[in-house]
Amino acid sequence: MSTDLKIVAARLHRVRLPLVHAFQTSSHRKAFLDHILVELEDASGAIGWGEIASSSDPYYAPETVESCWHIAEHYLLPAVLGRVWSHPSDLVNMKVRGNNFAKAGVDTAAWTLWAETQSLPLATVLGGTRTEVVAGVSLGIEPTIDELLQQVEQQVEAGYPRVKLKITQDWDVEPVRAVRAAYPELDLHVDANGIYTADDVERLAKLDDFELTMIEQPFAPKDLLTHAKLQSMIDTPVCLDESIETVDDLETALELRALQVLNIKVSRMGGLTPARRAHDRAQQAGIPVWCGGMHEFGIGRAANVALSSLPGFTLPSDVSASEKYYARDLIEPAVVAADGVVQVPTGPGLGHRVDRDLIAANTVGTVQLAP
């Protein structure tokens, strides 16, 4: 089955889509997103798509849309063009340091191309075992608690079984108390995107009263010691997101007991290849994982669904339906959730048709490279 592939052309498309509902985190607010689509073409004419889902500003991770474009155009794509390869992991670029979001788009395109040429679903070639994936939703910081409660109500009514709330210093205990009072049984967790410091440990420990499923990334990415300290003081599991960019980071965090849950993001880890390795290591360590999101367009969203089909993804993933974020997505069918459950596609490759017309209509920049 395994034949060699050769990339004969690569294209980048910078695509802009408006968000249905503006999203506010502890660091920034967004009404539309620009993501970069990576298109790899094999000598047989087969196409693989990937998505670089970087934020436009370097607030979640150090990368930006422009830095990703630069790294992809000048370093990552030249290294894959003309290369003969037999498995996507052959293309992992160890020479380029960091720049994981840019790498993730290229790696995902290689995986979808590979799955396509094998006539197998992306989930299957990754080793996925689930036929459906449970989705959770992530809610931004709202102007008032009433507006937050309205958002929670809308998502719970849509059938999502897990809700995550973004928190920050002046938006934490009170909104959590209000949501918990209204929904005593809801699978609820919070995400601070690293805004707190060691001075806030006592305040965060108060969140232990609300039976949260986890507290995600309370402290700065490199501050593993304070994560370990908080975890030793509370029963609520600490989940790491921004702290874990490599499997080595995970190894260190495990040794320090800095986490009890891991958020695996394809973008942050640098692609499906390292994301799958992190899954395997966490599973071996008995750490449950879930797939985090970056408000992906359909291509990245479909890759997240495929990854979430791996056996260690036992917690709801951020793979909510396309319609929660985009009025019209770039793939057909869009990602849909029925009662909070997304079916893993059974068709080859991405398992969705990529809508080139819609991509072209929303493209704000493009480049083609050939060897």
Cβ atoms < 10 Å from Cβ of 332: 12
State the nearest-atom distance from the C-beta of 287 to Mg ion, in Å: 16
Binding characters for ligand OSB, 127-146, by CB under 6 A (x = yes): -----------x--------
State the binding string over 191-210 for Mg ion (x if CB under 5 A, else -). x-------------------
Answer for which of 195, 295, 321, 349 binds ligand OSB (CB under 6 A) is: 295
Spatial distance between the Cα atoms of 24 and 32, rounded to a whole number of angstroms: 12
Give the residue at shortest CB distance from Mg ion.
241
Strands 47-52 and 289-291, how do they pair? unpaired
List the single partner that 237 binds among Mg ion, ligand OSB, none, CB under 5 to 8 Å by kind.
none
Confirm or reject binding of residue 320 to ligand OSB (CB under 6 A): yes
Burial of 344 per CB tally in 10 Å (0-12, 13-18, 19+): buried
Query: Which one of the listed residues 103, 164, 265, 324 is annotated catalytic?
Result: 265
Residues 162 and 291 sit within 8 Å (Cβ to Cβ): no
Q: With CB under 6 A, what is the number of residues at the site for ligand OSB?
A: 12
Distance CA 361, CA 364 (A): 9
Q: Tell me the two tokens of residue 161.
A: 């079984």
Does 172 sit near ligand OSB (CB under 6 A)? Answer: no
Cα 85 from Cα 90, distance rounded (Å): 6
* Residue among 136, 122, 77, 130 nearest 272 (CA): 122
**Catalytic residue flag (residue 265):** yes
Compute the least distance from the CB of residue 261 to ligand OSB, in Å.
13
292 near ligand OSB (CB under 6 A): yes
Residue 272 burial (CB count, 10 A): 26
Partner in contact with 318, chosen from ligand OSB, Mg ion, none, beta carbon below 5 to 8 Å by kind: ligand OSB
Regarding 192 and contact with ligand OSB (CB under 6 A), the answer is no
241 belongs to the binding site for Mg ion (CB under 5 A): yes
Concerning whether 164 is annotated as a catalytic residue, the answer is no
Q: Give the DSSP H or E segment for 267.
A: helix 266-269
Nearer to Mg ion, 109 or 244 (CB): 244
Span between the terminal Cα atoms of the chain, in Å:
26
162 within 8 A of 213, measured Cβ to Cβ: yes
Q: Is 309 within 8 Å of 323 (Cβ atoms)?
A: no
Interaction of residue 213 with ligand OSB, rule CB under 6 A: no
Q: How far is the CB of 318 from ligand OSB (least distance, A)?
A: 4
Residue with smaller CB distance to Mg ion, 5 or 224: 224
β-strand pairing of 29-42 with 47-52: antiparallel
Would you tell me which residues interact with ligand OSB (CB under 6 A)?
Answer: 25, 60, 138, 191, 193, 241, 292-295, 318, 320
Would you tell me which residues interact with Mg ion (CB under 5 A)?
Answer: 191, 216, 241
Active site residues: 166, 265
